[in-house]
Every structure is written in C-alpha cells, then in structure tokens.
Amino acid sequence: GAGVSQSPRYKVAKRGQDVALRCDPISGHVSLFWYQQALGQGPEFLTYFQNEAQLDKSGLPSDRFFAERPEGSVSTLKIQRTQQEDSAVYLCASSSRDSTYNEQFFGPGTRLTVL
Amino acid sequence: QQQVKQSPQSLIVQKGGISIINCAYENTAFDYFPWYQQFPGKGPALLIAIRPDVSEKKEGRFTISFNKSAKQFSLHIMDSQPGDSATYFCAAIADGQNFVFGPGTRLSVLP
C-alpha cells in the first residue's frame, strides 16, 4: 500500500507569503504528527492529531503556524507571513493507533525555503 | 530536561566494522527509546526500539544497549555495510508526551 505522501516536495516562498503544506497519511491511520527538521538537526515536534482532534499543538513556534485535519484524514500545515527562520523540512508522520508510542511512518517531507 | 544528546555527530566506518552511536537523556520519565534511520530526501524510518525494562535488544545486525542508571543508550551496527550509510536519530518519549529526537549522527560506511 501507499505510504505517507506530502506535497509539494519543494516550496520556495518570498518572505511574508503564506504557504500551505499537505499531508496524506496512510489510509486508516488515526494519529497524525507534524515535525520541523532544520538542516543537520533532528525532527522537532510541532503538533499531533487524533482523527480530526488536535490534541497537542505545544510545538508550534508561533501563532503564524496553523494545522488542521478537518475530516480526520488529510492534514494541512499553514504558515502565514513566512520568515527566513521558517526554512526547514516539514515532516508528516502517521500512526495506526491512538497512542503516541506506536510506530510513526514518516512521509518524505516538504522542503520550504523562504527567501 | 527534554533534550536527548547524541554522539558522535558523524562517523566513518570501514565495511565489516562496528558502528556505535551513543545517546543520553535527563528526563527519567522517558520510557520508550526508538532509533530511526534517514536516507537523503526521505523521511525517517523506524529501525529498532527498546523499553527500559530490558538492557539489550537485538534485531539482525542492529543492537540497542540500554543503561537505565546512567540514562544512556546506544546503537550498535555489526558488520556495517555501505548501504547502512545514512543519518541515525535516537529518540525518547514519555507517557502522554511526544517524541524528542536527538540531533542525529551521519554514518558513512566505506567500501
């Protein structure tokens, strides 16, 4: 079956633009996670959904970051008024169960470059 | 206290050698420790994981050693192969919290 897919794979934005990053999790996966991975660093947690409910958004770095998963499947991470420090790879992961302990399957990421 | 430290930052090993990557943590609430492997342009993939009630777990050429009292754990890759060349991340999680990843180790296995 298909794994986690993300689109676009690459995004270049001018400072101040809004961007939307899409994640298609593995079908039937309950949990969905967003991470930010800076160059040469490990992924850093942003937010976590269980079905359509956003249970944890403690990792979102500012109120310019917003995530949604309205039907409990596809998720969108939106960044408003992008800044250069937002440049990173944004990873999405999904898990089949409702526990954060279960194996997370990662997508290939979206590389965002803010000029 | 949420940080997971990882060393070395990069590692070069000859084919057939043993690769060893070390991680340390402070938060004693952590109770699940996975290792992820990431190839360029790909997302991380789970390699092997351990809970603190065991001191060692082996899966094929990959072994995790866990020292609860020292709050340290390590990944050993036996008979390292060029195809193992990737970035490796240790991670930790506590109940009700989310994964904390180490900064990563870039492994290069020379043919």
Residue B39, classed as helix, strand or coil, is coil
Pick the CATH number of B4-106 from 2.60.40.10, 1.10.10.60, 1.10.10.10, 3.40.50.720: 2.60.40.10
Q: Which helix or strand (DSSP H or E) is residue A54 part of?
A: strand A53-56
Distance, CA of B93 to CA of A55 (rounded, Å): 16
Residue A101 pLDDT > 80, yes or no? no
pLDDT score recorded for residue B103: 95
Domains: count for chain A: 1
Contact B43 A91 (CB under 8 A): yes
Domain ranges of chain B: 4-106
Buried b (16+ CB within 10 A) or exposed e, A37-55: beeeebbbbbbbbbeeebe
The answer for residues whose C-beta is within 8 angstroms of residue B73's C-beta and 6 or more apart is B22, B23, B24, B33, B50, B64, B65, B66, B67, B90
- To probe the interface with B, which of A7, A32, A45 has the most B CB atoms within 10 Å? A45
Instruction: With respect to residue A13, please indicate whether it lies within any of the assigned structural domains.
Output: yes
Beta bridge partners of A77: A21, A67
Residue B54 has pLDDT above 80, yes or no: yes
| A107 located within any domain | no
Q: Residue A87: give its domain's CATH number.
A: 2.60.40.10
Residue A110 lies in a domain: no
Report yes or no on A38 lying in a domain. yes
**Residue A108 located in a structural domain:** no
Least confident of A22-26, B49-53, B60-64: B49-53
Domain membership of residue A10 as a residue range: 5-99
Q: List B residues 22-81 in contact with A (Cβ-Cβ < 8 A).
A: 32, 34, 41-46, 49
Residue A112's pLDDT band (boundaries 50, 70, 90)? Answer: very high
Contacts of A43 in chain B (CB under 8 A): 44, 89, 99, 101
| Residue A104, in any domain of the structure | no
pLDDT in tens, B81-105: 999 999 999 999 887 677 899 999 9
pLDDT-based confidence at residue A23 (cuts at 50, 70, 90): very high
| B78/chain A closest Cα distance in angstroms | 24
- Cα gap B5→B24, rounded to integer Å: 5
Q: Measured between CA atoms, how close is A71 to chain B, in angstroms?
A: 23
Categorize the per-residue pLDDT at B2 as very low, low, confident or very high, splitting at 50, 70 and 90.
low
Q: Per the domain annotation, does A60 fall within a domain?
A: yes
